């Protein structure tokens, strides 16, 4: 079995582009439309988590080895052996993000941190190629 590894970082092109667009909008609103500074300050506060992600550049990822599944996201880490996993569940949320969960043979579900989850189609294909059962659930509110 060939190992599979996926890594990402908080410092990515999409986050930087979104921050640039939001801040350009805030500055434009203040200069061109004389927007209320307190209101634009509230919008600016909403960008602080994204700014932290860009500055901190925390790494996250998942690895599939012959022994099992492991992941890391900042200080959070975890691993599970394949014998304990009944199947993997991929839930597509209303915001189109995909949450991955390992459903154990005991019925307990262990969620992988969102930031370490690979693109859903790739992850599903890699798991299926390894003989791991995958359940896809689209746009579920609970679960």
What tokens appear for 111 in the block? 């969620």
> Whats the size of the chain, residue-wise?
143
* pLDDT tens digits along 134-143: 999 988 666 5
Residue 143 lies in a domain: no
Residue 131 sits in a domain of what CATH number? 2.30.29.30
**Same domain, residue pair 131 and 65:** yes
* pLDDT tens digits along 73-124: 988 999 999 999 999 999 998 888 899 999 999 999 999 998 899 999 999 9
**Same domain, residue pair 128 and 68:** yes
- Residue range of the domain that includes 26: 10-56
**Same domain, residue pair 20 and 32:** yes
Q: How many domains does the chain have?
A: 2
pTM to 2 decimals? Answer: 0.74
What tokens appear for 4 in the block? 């599979």
**Same domain, residue pair 18 and 71:** no
**Same domain, residue pair 43 and 112:** no
Side-chain-side CA neighbours of 28 within 13 Å: the count stands at: 6
**Same domain, residue pair 52 and 76:** no
* pLDDT tens digits along 33-69: 999 999 999 999 999 999 998 998 889 999 999 999 9
Residue 41 lies in a domain: yes
**Same domain, residue pair 26 and 96:** no
């Amino acid at each position: 079995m060939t190992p599979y590894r996926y890594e990402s970082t908080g410092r990515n092109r999409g986050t930087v582009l979104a921050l640039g667009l939001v801040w350009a909008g805030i500055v434009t609103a203040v200069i061109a439309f004389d927007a209320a500074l307190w209101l634009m300050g509230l919008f600016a506060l909403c960008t602080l988590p994204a700014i932290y992600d860009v500055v901190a550049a925390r790494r996250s990822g998942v690895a599939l080895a012959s022994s099992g599944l492991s992941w890391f996201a900042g200080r959070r880490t975890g691993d599970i052996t394949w014998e304990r996993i009944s199947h993997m569940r991929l839930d597509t949320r209303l915001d189109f993000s995909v949450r991955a969960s390992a459903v154990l043979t005991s019925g307990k579900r262990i969620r992988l941190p969102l930031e370490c989850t690979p693109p859903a189609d790739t992850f599903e294909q890699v798991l299926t190629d390894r003989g791991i059962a995958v359940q896809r659930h689209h746009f579920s509110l609970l679960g």
